[in-house]
């Protein structure tokens, strides 16, 4: 481990890089952060990746460790469940947890990023340098080539300890590819996304249920909406790139309006800027990246999306990246050798990152398709009955991922068993409240409890 006077370099002042810088500063290090974009606190940047995002237990825990949770929550809107919007008919509410205390939180990405940068700088040990693009790296040597995008000049950094938090298209990860044992799988989703706005109603009123994540599930595609502090909602339309209903098929305002009128009539009535926003805003890509090793020479380590980009359907990408910061901090507290700490970090985090990556892809199918299925709704109802009837004994995958800090890998395993129990119990039921609790107890204690005890 370098001494407390050592200068550490973080590449990327996004959500994870900014929080990591703060964690490192609190350990007594001086940290330089290189960020390719201008300072978003001074300049308005083009629409970023998503306007708001959901923060849950893992992310909040990471903020709590550095005293930032309370302030962040002041800007967050609790979302207690999903509101499902069918094409016709009644809206349906599906709670996320056993009661309202289990909720996820909608938070502005821009606000959070600025807040983290400012808090990191306020330690007096972090300097963030903007318009600094890392173009090349020698990971094992801790060397970086940095282009100053304001002046066009290039400089070389040597003997640094480099933390690559430069996101899913990471330049640091790219440089790691020159290591002989490095491997990376990158899978681009066949869907893209577009952000649209439901503005606030009169007097800043929310035009739909405020404390929910709204979903319009339509089989191979979907629309979702999350609330913002100002009374607006940010909608995200997820559509295939190609095919009969796709970004390729929606080329004219007429086609777009007809599509929304047919599939999302209630949302269309609330999005006055539909045509303008759809045709002027960028269409986002989504990618899963699994790579290894995440480190080289005790000099370079990847964290956040740079190490494990995942698709957004579990609302966990940032949460997982924040959990990386907590894990690394704990290792640095007890492990003086950086090479060892980086190896141990990967050993602890890699299987968990892979598990949430897989769960995120699976959750896309659940959100866009199953949430509209009456059997799925019945099973969700049974799940809620079991969560309340067997507290501490029955757990669901969603609650473990979103409302606990149990390793993702374990949540994956438990989720499969718990899901099987729910399906079995719901098989011949008409109403969730009629579930046979004696049978449930036997199944839970026979299958789930031993698995949890074993792990």
Residues lying near ligand FAD in the complex (CB under 6 A)? 11-17, 34-37, 49-50, 53-54, 133-134, 165-167, 171, 193, 236, 284, 286, 304-306, 312, 315-319, 321
Q: CB-wise, 212 or 286, nearer to ligand FAD?
A: 286
Task: Report the nearest approach of ligand FAD to the CB of residue 311 (Å).
Answer: 8
- Is the separation of the CB atoms in 312 and 324 below 8 Å? no
Task: Report the nearest approach of ligand FAD to the CB of residue 271 (Å).
Answer: 17
Task: Report the nearest approach of ligand FAD to the CB of residue 91 (Å).
Answer: 22
Q: What Å distances lie between residue 14 and 127, 170, 453, CA to CA? A: 14, 12, 38
Task: Report the nearest approach of ligand FAD to the CB of residue 245 (Å).
Answer: 19
Q: CB-wise, 37 or 409, nearer to ligand FAD?
A: 37
Angle at 30 between CA 293 and CA 3, to 5 degrees: 75
As given in the structure block, the two tokens for residue 39 are 């300072």
Task: Report the nearest approach of ligand FAD to the CB of residue 27 (Å).
Answer: 19
Q: CB-wise, 236 or 386, nearer to ligand FAD?
A: 236
Distance CA 324, CA 330 (A): 10
Q: CB-wise, 353 or 444, nearer to ligand FAD?
A: 353
Task: Report the nearest approach of ligand FAD to the CB of residue 257 (Å).
Answer: 24
- The residue nearest ligand FAD at its CB is 14
Q: CB-wise, 350 or 422, nearer to ligand FAD?
A: 350
Task: Report the nearest approach of ligand FAD to the CB of residue 238 (Å).
Answer: 9
Q: CB-wise, 36 or 82, nearer to ligand FAD?
A: 36
Q: CB-wise, 211 or 447, nearer to ligand FAD?
A: 211
Task: Report the nearest approach of ligand FAD to the CB of residue 264 (Å).
Answer: 18
Q: CB-wise, 303 or 372, nearer to ligand FAD?
A: 303
Q: CB-wise, 386 or 401, nearer to ligand FAD?
A: 401
Task: Report the nearest approach of ligand FAD to the CB of residue 216 (Å).
Answer: 16
Distance CA 166, CA 148 (A): 16
How big is the chain by its Cα radius of gyration, in Å? 23
- Is the separation of the CB atoms in 214 and 225 below 8 Å? yes
Distance CA 395, CA 374 (A): 22
Three-state secondary structure of the chain:
CCCCCCEEEEECCCHHHHHHHHHHHHCCCEEEEECCCCCCCCCCCCCCCCCEEEECHHHHHHHHHCCCHHHHHHCCEEECEEEECCCCCCCEEEECCCCCCCCEEEEEHHHHHHHHHHHHHHCCCEEEECCEEEEEEEHHHCEEEEEECCCCCEEEECCCEEEECCCCCCHHHHHHCCCCCCEEEEEECCEEEEEEEECCCHHHCCCCCCCCEEEEECCCCEEEEEECCCCCEEEEEEEECCCCCCCCCCCCHHHHHHHHHHHCHHHHCCCCCHHHHHHHCCCECCEEEEEECCEECCCEEECCHHHHCCCHHHCCHHHHHHHHHHHHHHHHHHCCCHHHHHHHHHHHHHHHHHHHHHHHHHHHHHHHCHHHCHHHHHHHHHHHHHHHHCCCCCCCHHHHHHHCCCCHHHHHHHHHHHHHHHHHHHCCCCCHHHCCHHHHHHHHHHHHHHHHHHC
Q: CB-wise, 14 or 407, nearer to ligand FAD?
A: 14
Task: Report the nearest approach of ligand FAD to the CB of residue 261 (Å).
Answer: 25
Q: CB-wise, 54 or 160, nearer to ligand FAD?
A: 54
Q: CB-wise, 218 or 378, nearer to ligand FAD?
A: 218
Regarding beta strands 233-240 and 222-227, do their DSSP bridges make them parallel or antiparallel, or are they unpaired?
antiparallel
- Measured between its terminal Cα atoms, the distance across the chain in Å is 32
Task: Report the nearest approach of ligand FAD to the CB of residue 53 (Å).
Answer: 3
Task: Report the nearest approach of ligand FAD to the CB of residue 254 (Å).
Answer: 27
């Amino acid at each position: 481990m370098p001494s407390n006077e050592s200068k550490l370099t973080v590449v990327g002042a996004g959500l994870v890089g900014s929080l990591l810088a703060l964690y490192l500063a609190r350990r007594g290090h001086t940290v330089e952060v290189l960020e390719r974009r201008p300072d978003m606190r001074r300049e308005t940047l083009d629409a970023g990746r998503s306007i708001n995002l959901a923060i849950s237990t893992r992310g909040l825990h990471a903020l709590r460790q550095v005293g930032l949770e309370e302030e962040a929550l002041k800007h967050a809107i609790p979302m207690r469940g999903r509101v499902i919007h069918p094409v016709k008919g009644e809206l349906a509410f599906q709670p996320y947890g056993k009661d309202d205390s289990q909720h996820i939180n909608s938070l502005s990405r821009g606000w959070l990023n600025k807040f983290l940068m400012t808090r990191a700088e306020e330690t007096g040990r972090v300097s963030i340098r903007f318009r600094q693009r890392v173009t090349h790296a020698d990971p094992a040597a801790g060397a970086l080539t940095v282009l100053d995008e304001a002046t066009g000049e290039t400089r070389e950094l040597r003997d640094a300890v480099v933390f690559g938090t430069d996101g899913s298209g990471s330049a640091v990860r790219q440089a790691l590819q020159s290591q002989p044992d490095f491997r990376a799988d990158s899978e681009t989703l066949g869907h893209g996304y577009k952000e649209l706005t439901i503005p606030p109603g009169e007097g800043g009123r929310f035009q739909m249920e405020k404390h929910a994540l709204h979903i319009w599930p339509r089989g191979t595609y979907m629309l979702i909406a999350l609330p913002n502090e100002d009374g607006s909602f940010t909608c995200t339309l997820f559509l295939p790139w190609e095919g009969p209903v796709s970004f390729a098929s929606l080329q004219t305002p007429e086609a777009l309006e007809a599509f929304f009128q047919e599939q999302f009539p209630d949302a269309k009535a609330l999005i006055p800027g539909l045509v303008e926003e759809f045709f002027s805003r960028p269409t986002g890509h989504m990618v899963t990246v699994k790579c290894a090793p995440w480190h080289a020479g005790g000099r370079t380590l990847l964290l956040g999306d740079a190490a494990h980009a995942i698709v957004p359907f579990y609302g966990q990408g940032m949460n997982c990246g924040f959990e990386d910061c907590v894990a690394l901090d704990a290792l640095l507290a007890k492990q003086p050798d950086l090479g060892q700490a980086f190896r141990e970090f990967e050993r602890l985090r890699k299987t968990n990152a892979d598990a949430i990556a897989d769960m995120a892809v699976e959750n896309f199918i659940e959100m866009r398709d199953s949430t509209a299925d009456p059997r799925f709704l019945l099973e969700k109802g049974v799940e809620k009955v079991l969560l309340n009837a067997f507290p501490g004994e029955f757990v669901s995958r969603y609650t473990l991922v979103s409302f606990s800090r149990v390793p993702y890998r374990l949540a994956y395993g438990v989720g499969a068993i718990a899901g099987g129990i729910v399906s079995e119990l719901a098989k011949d039921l008409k109403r969730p409240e009629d579930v046979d609790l004696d049978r449930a107890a036997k199944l839970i204690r026979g299958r789930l409890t031993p698995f949890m005890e074993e792990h």
